[in-house]
Amino acid sequence: MSKSDLIIKGDSLPGMPWEDRPQGCKEVMWRFSKNPVIPRNIIPTSNSVFNSAVVPFKDGYAGVFRCDDTNRRMRLHVGFSKDAIHWDIKETKLEFVCDDQEIGNFVYAYDPRVCFIEDRYYVTWCNGYHGPTIGVAYTFDFETFHQLENAYLPFNRNGVMFPRKINGNYAMLSRPSDNGHTPFGDIFYSESPDMCFWGKHRHVMSPAPFEDSAWQCTKIGAGPIPIETSEGWLLIYHGVLHSCNGFVYSFGSALLDLDQPWKVKFRSGPYLLSPQKDYECMGDVPNVVFPCAALHDPESKRIAVYYGCADTVTGLAFGYIDEIIEFTKKHSII
């Protein structure tokens, strides 16, 4: 493939956040010079704001943010922004509307993803229901959020939808887990005809062998909404290494088959980003970079990834989609 043959799907977004690659930088992705883009105390009651999801909305951006409060309870908050850098986050937590109190009974909520499909924004998050599972809701306006059935049985985390139906069904990646700080984890794929019943479960990928790619040898989980390209679905995912000091979270990239996304075509051996800056290595949980959202512009091939840093603040990293695809293919461990 020559670079110019690459097709990237999505609406154009020329005004998305961007900074050119710093001089002398040889890395595929680089950090925003003003990181962290969202401080931990952006609202009076927040202990930390991280692992959050942003999308283009009207003439600006909207987001669902993980704001752990000063009781250290995990909560979601809605925010709006003109430039996707300066955020106005509501001080009151997001309240879901749900007809069924069994499902609507709020316990905790964290690690949201937001995906626009057809006419609405779907939110998936780690929802407390006898342990973590994947909560699902939709909104048209980021004011009212209609909560649907949980997608899976507990325990599950990292529910990430595809931005269009596949094989006529809604499609989601997820990561079955346990009720604690799961020391294992593979990514699976599921389909649903109606956003209520999820099935056709397929295995996508396991942690990598330690000898091949140690940053992702303990567990892995999908990050932002996959981006459709002519080379396959570009998936940015986190991977975990269990060191003598605990878990270390980095992120890398894979290309999934367009029609059968459980088939992995390429998977990066080296990471795209690992915890190296002070704000990624110091905080409530040291040594964590955890991506949950990305903005991209198909014409310029630019991507901006939002990632949680040390479970405390939110960072932004930039790259070019064609370069990330080339990197994924060139350094693939498959």
48 binds ligand BMA (CB under 6 A): no
Q: 181 to 210, contacts with ligand BMA by CB under 6 A? A: 181
Using CB under 6 A, which of 48, 51, 81, 312 touches ligand BMA?
A: 51
- Residue 146 Cβ vs ligand BMA, minimum distance, rounded to whole Å: 24
Question: Contact 63/114 with Cβ under 8 angstroms?
Answer: yes
Check binding of 283 to ligand BMA (CB under 6 A).
no
DSSP character at residue 216: G
Q: Are 300 and 312 in contact (CB under 8 A)?
A: no
Query: Judged by CB under 6 A, does residue 308 bind ligand BMA?
Result: yes
Using the minimum distance from each CB to ligand BMA, give the nearer residue, 198 or 251: 251
Return the residue nearest ligand BMA (CB atom). Answer: 285
Residues 221-280 that bind ligand BMA (CB under 6 A): 249
Alpha-carbon distances of 320 from 2, 207, 237, 300, rounded to whole Å: 15, 26, 17, 8
Q: 190: which residues sit within 8 A by CB, 6+ positions away?
A: 151, 152, 171, 172, 173, 174, 198, 199, 200, 201, 202
Which of 288, 293, 309, 317 forms a contact with ligand BMA (CB under 6 A)? 288
Among 68, 280, 297, 311, binds ligand BMA (CB under 6 A): 311
Total binding residues toward ligand BMA, as defined by CB under 6 A = 10
Rg for the chain (alpha carbons), in Å?
18
CA distances from 303 to 184, 283, 312 (A): 29, 26, 23
Among 121, 145, 198, 290, binds ligand BMA (CB under 6 A): 290
Task: Give the residues across from 307 on adjacent strands.
Answer: 291, 315
Between residue 6 and residue 45, which ones bind ligand BMA under the rule CB under 6 A? none
Q: Is 313 in the site for ligand BMA (CB under 6 A)?
A: no
Residue 134 binds ligand BMA (CB under 6 A): no
110 forms part of the interface with ligand BMA (CB under 6 A): yes
Q: Which of residues 85, 103, 281, 285 is near ligand BMA by CB under 6 A?
A: 285
φ, ψ for residue 214, nearest 5 deg: -70, -30
Beta carbon nearer to ligand BMA, 80 or 106: 106
In the chain, the amino acid numbered 243 is: S
Of 79 and 308, CB closest to ligand BMA: 308
Q: Which helix (H) or strand (E) holds 102?
A: helix 101-104
Is 111 a binding residue for ligand BMA by CB under 6 A? The answer is yes
Using the rule CB under 6 A, is 281 a contact of ligand BMA? no
The structure tokens 């306006």 sit at 141
Stretch that binds ligand BMA, among 37-45, 100-108, 256-264, 284-292 (CB under 6 A): 284-292
Host H or E run for residue 303 = strand 302-309
**Could you tell me which stretch among 15-23, 134-142, 205-213, 285-293 binds ligand BMA (CB under 6 A)?**
285-293
Q: What is the distance between the alpha carbons of residues 155 and 153, in angstroms, rounded to a whole number?
A: 6
Decide if 199 contacts 190 (C-beta within 8 A).
yes
The burial class, CB within 10 Å (0-12 / 13-18 / 19+), for 167 is exposed
- Chain residues binding ligand BMA by CB under 6 A are 51, 110-111, 181, 249, 285, 288, 290, 308, 311
